[in-house]
Structure 1
Amino acid sequence: MRQIKSIVIAGLLLTFPMFVGAQTTVKISEPEDEVIISKHIYGHFSEHLGRCIYDGLYVGQESAIPNQDGVRSDIIDALIDLKIPNLRWPGGCFADTYHWKDGVGPREDRPTMVNRWWGGVTEDNSFGTHDFLNLCETLGAEPYLAANVGSSSVQEFTEYVEYVLHKGGSPMAEWRKEHGREKPWAVKYWGVGNEMWGCGGNMTAEHYANVYRQYATFMTDWTNSDGLFRIASGANVDDYHWTEVLMRDIPKSLIEGVALHSYSFVEWNEKGSSVDYSEEQYFSTMKTALMMDELIVNHTAIMDKYDPENEIALVVDEWGGWYEVMEGTNPGFLYQQNTMRDAMIAGTTLNIFNNHADRVKMANLAQTVNVLQAVVLTEGEKMLLTPTYHVMKMYNVHQDATLLPVSFDGPTYEFEGESLPAISASASKNKDGEVHVSLVNIDAHKSHTVNLSVEQFGAKNLTGTILSSKDLQDHNSFESPEMIAPKELKSIKVKKGVVEIELPPFSVLVLKAE
């Protein structure tokens, strides 16, 4: 990766002047083959990390903050409005040090542990499996359990499956009933370890493939009529050898998904501020974000060799922006702000996932509350929604809709002799015949005019929602929690079946055609 000098401008929000760019014509076509954009692409991730669970999602039943069984009511309402389709838990790196039996039964009897990965804090296991799975039921979201392989055993792993899924008569099912849950939970998605190339055990791909085969063999489904969805711990960014080995060495009868992790940042060892960043840092971050398309293309090409029938999903179960923690916060808690840069990451990444929905069947933004590219931030009783939240809510119209191919020759965003595509787009048609088009302009300076032909869809009623702001570094704070919020697009020009829209710099727009 090219080395880029870090420029940190403390206490200064840069204002980028707006210039008018070129016109772009976006063509939307009817698909030759129907591809459904799985709602699970819009999944989320909550790890026992910093203030994601404790002092974030979970405040306890005795808290003065309104809650449902200890989980903040305002966060529950926000996630329901977001139409969150699935939630991954308990990690992350934490997953491969987590022993699930420590988190069930009376809270006063649960042992403590030290969270060695994230801040060295003491974990009291007060938020455990019952709390998480009951929360998913409240949210109407599918649970995605990342289970321990790195420091566990096949027996502990399979007893977890039995505890969660068996109806009754087995030792683990009866133990679950003793803890107050009569019926099993219908948990379909199971991660067989996490980042086994790193914090999950520093394994080679060849070794992990054999370990995976062993664990997956003993996983038995007791509840779901269509079976378990077992997800192998996949590659780190462009480790194509890892994907090659898993696809080659794991029988298709034992696997339903292969994971991929990729984060967006300035430089791995020089991530820069989440608020006071320069245009150079912004450009570099967007460069890594847009690499997601290349990663998916290349990993998919490997998967196609071994799975031409497209039966195994690519699951991008960790993605998002990663910067330095906010000043004065615990370095191991990964708390950062969320600006219009993060809205750009979210919009372009979701467009990439939508356009590769034939292979990408699930993804999980990291992370839900108070960690990395969060959709919700909290401070005591206060809560705010981030620009990323608003983008994901705007985009949830694509969930389970039919992908419509888009094509265009767009302008570029130029910076110091380098260029990136300025415009990103994806489109879909839902079961009611509504067409939705999501557009992003990442250019820090120029607005761009987009001409969009909708005549072939017989659209008569056009509406739009836009997310934009004056400065790229703008963000919602607890003093101004609604500084950035979606607004109705007031100017939609239609002439001879062509819609003309002006996209301001660093903006996200979703157009609906009925």
Structure 2
Amino acid sequence: MKKTILFLSCLVLTLSLNAQTSVSGYVSTVNQNQQISKHIYGHFSEHLGRCIYDGFWVDKSLNVKKEGRIRMDIVDALKAINIPNLRWPGGCFADEYHWRDGIGAPNSRPKMVNTNWGGVTEDNSFGTHEFLELCKLLGTEPYISGNVGSGTVEEMSKWVEYLNFDGESPMSKLRKENGRTEPWKVSFWGVGNESWGCGGNMTAEYYADQFNRYATYSRDYPGTKLKKVAGGANSDDYNWTDVLMRKSRNQMWGLSLHYYAIPTGSWGNKGSATDFEEQEYFSSMKNALRMDELVTKHSAVMDKYDPAKKVALVVDEWGIWTNVEPGTNPGFLYQQNSLRDALVAGSTLNIFNNHSDRVKMANLAQTVNVLQALILTEKDKMLLTPTYWVFDMYKTHQEATLLPVKFTSPNYVVNNKSLPSVNISASKDKNGVVHLTMVNLDAKNNIPVKLNFEDLNWSKAVGTILTSAKFTDYNSFDQPNKIKPAAFNGASKNGDQLQLSLPPLSVVAITLN
């Protein structure tokens, strides 16, 4: 009898979870003024594995187009997605990096051991000047993370002076001696990184005092006001956010948040990047969607001290983190990039767009050959990952006006656990054109979508889709174009209503003309 009751209960739960089979909703287009900052679409380049060395910065003998030693096929690919900012030199590496070791004649720079990532020796041939030349070639804003963990207030203060002061001083003189007359006017400035962990194992109270001290001496020079980003919380440490907002909010432009989606939920065995079943795919997406909860709750803490939302939430490390590829250095964090990763990226960017009243900046980890990379290289070969193509499809949201979308979604159910099948964000660009990005996480089912619009004249829907047969599919050097965007012709106009059907495992971008 008990078994029968249990079976019937599970059946009722399953039927109720699957009762809804389509998305219906409403897009508000009138009197909206919340801008989606382009800096939400930022990236991260740490001295880790093959991101800098053998990624952006290659051997002189490598047979690829280069500017000095900067690899230009990577630069061209990133320019194509309008990369708005690039974070450097870390990550954990930032708090063991001493900037003076990376300036001057390359053959006179001291070597260093990268104790965080693989114990490799670096020659410091890629330093401040090289990074800022890379940013110039990319047409992007630099975001530099300063050393609080093993550095000094004087060291950070003088780095800012070296970068930004245009008058007579010891640091501006040194900069000129190293070949740069004009200051770079770097604005985004991280004061330490993960100070609760690899950046010093500090308490929130201690770090808040250190942030206030370091930030005080990180000066605003004429023509450049620093946007100082305080090292924020690990995942759901809301106390850290509370302490920093209470003690330090008046000195910061932004407060960071780091969160990685671990497929298995276990740091000991995070799961394969390409070899997994539906249950692990489901848990990956469940963990990725937790970003919405984290942003909501950290924003609520910030609202207590900053109801006007003057302090930005800066999610400057996010992405999916799996086990490294078999046979690679475990300290290099090289992982493949599957369709699952693209669905994580699309869903996360939709979350950030919809929270753009507080989230003003974010940085995917990382750009080349590390974690959820946009680009993978193998000697002279280079490929664009499924995640890269999501950023290409979503670039229309940069600096556009957020259009709130109210909708209900069916659930994607695996083993009686559920998550929303569909997530959406929408915006209107400066020309008045409306763009929607939608993700269907369901591994098996097409999801019909019907959306109404408030006072919007449009005649045609133009679409792009990114999908593949399996969530484990990926681009390889043998098949670099297995997953790439294609035209989506499944959207239509019925009266004033947009109608379409989202295929399983798909990211779809729609433009209304």
Into which bin does the TM-score normalised by the smaller protein fall? over 0.9
Q: Secondary structure at the match of 2:455?
A: helix
Distance in structure 2 (CA, Å) of the matches to 1:31 and 1:244: 35
Distance in structure 2 (CA, Å) of the matches to 1:219 and 1:506: 46
Query: Corresponding residue for 1:242?
Result: 240
- Once the two structures are overlaid, the 10-residue window that deviates more, 451-460 or 151-160, is 451-460
Q: Is the 8 A contact 1:375 1:389 kept in 2?
A: yes
TM-score by length of 1: 0.94
Alpha-carbon distance change, 153 to 455 in structure 1, aligned in 2, over 3 angstroms: closer
Query: Corresponding residue for 2:254?
Result: 257
Deviations 1:458-493 (A, max 9, x none): 012320111011111110000000000000112322
Query: Corresponding residue for 2:4?
Result: none
Distance in structure 2 (CA, Å) of the matches to 1:113 and 1:354: 40
Gaps (5+ residues) in structure 1?
Answer: 1-18
Query: Counterparts in 2 of 1:39-78, with a 5 A limit?
Result: 39-78=38-77
Q: Secondary structure at the match of 1:457?
A: coil
Query: Corresponding residue for 2:411?
Result: 412
Query: Corresponding residue for 2:15?
Result: none
Q: Name the aligned partner's letter for residue 114 of structure 1.
A: V
Q: Is the 8 A contact 1:36 1:400 kept in 2?
A: yes
Query: Corresponding residue for 1:436?
Result: 435
Q: Is the 8 A contact 1:59 1:65 kept in 2?
A: no
Distance in structure 1 (CA, Å) of the matches to 2:329 and 2:464: 37
Alpha-carbon distance change, 181 to 60 in structure 1, aligned in 2, over 3 angstroms: farther
Query: Corresponding residue for 2:121?
Result: 122
Alpha-carbon distance change, 487 to 200 in structure 1, aligned in 2, over 3 angstroms: same
Q: Secondary structure at the match of 2:22?
A: strand
Distance in structure 1 (CA, Å) of the matches to 2:155 and 2:222: 19
Q: Is the 8 A contact 1:21 1:446 kept in 2?
A: no
- Offset, 1:31: 5.4
Distance in structure 2 (CA, Å) of the matches to 1:150 and 1:355: 34
Query: Counterparts in 2 of 1:31-42, with a 5 A limit?
Result: 32-42=31-41
Deviations 1:352-394 (A, max 9, x none): 0000000000000000000000000000000000000000110
Distance in structure 2 (CA, Å) of the matches to 1:240 and 1:64: 49
Q: Is the 8 A contact 1:34 1:402 kept in 2?
A: yes
Query: Corresponding residue for 1:422?
Result: 421
Q: Secondary structure at the match of 1:271?
A: coil
- Offset, 1:64: 2.5
Alpha-carbon distance change, 20 to 141 in structure 1, aligned in 2, over 3 angstroms: farther
Query: Corresponding residue for 1:269?
Result: 268
Query: Corresponding residue for 2:101?
Result: 102
Alpha-carbon distance change, 218 to 56 in structure 1, aligned in 2, over 3 angstroms: same
Gaps (5+ residues) in structure 2?
Answer: 1-17
Distance in structure 1 (CA, Å) of the matches to 2:223 and 2:409: 45
Q: Name the aligned partner's letter for residue 260 of structure 1.
A: L
Q: Is the 8 A contact 2:94 2:192 kept in 1?
A: yes
Q: Secondary structure at the match of 2:218?
A: coil
Q: CA RMSD in A?
A: 1.4
Alpha-carbon distance change, 497 to 228 in structure 1, aligned in 2, over 3 angstroms: same
Q: Secondary structure at the match of 1:22?
A: coil
- Offset, 1:416: 0.4
Query: Corresponding residue for 2:291?
Result: 292
Q: Is the 8 A contact 2:44 2:86 kept in 1?
A: yes
Query: Corresponding residue for 2:334?
Result: 335
Query: Corresponding residue for 2:383?
Result: 384
Q: Is the 8 A contact 1:339 1:476 kept in 2?
A: yes
Deviations 1:133-170 (A, max 9, x none): 11111111110000100000000000000001111311
Query: Counterparts in 2 of 1:83-482, with a 5 A limit?
Result: 83-225=82-224, 227-252=225-250, 254-265=251-262, 266-267=264-265, 268-454=267-453, 456-482=455-481
Q: Is the 8 A contact 2:412 2:421 kept in 1?
A: yes
- Offset, 1:455: 6.9
Q: Secondary structure at the match of 1:319?
A: strand
Q: Name the aligned partner's letter for residue 144 of structure 1.
A: Y
Q: Is the 8 A contact 2:440 2:505 kept in 1?
A: yes
Distance in structure 1 (CA, Å) of the matches to 2:237 and 2:343: 25
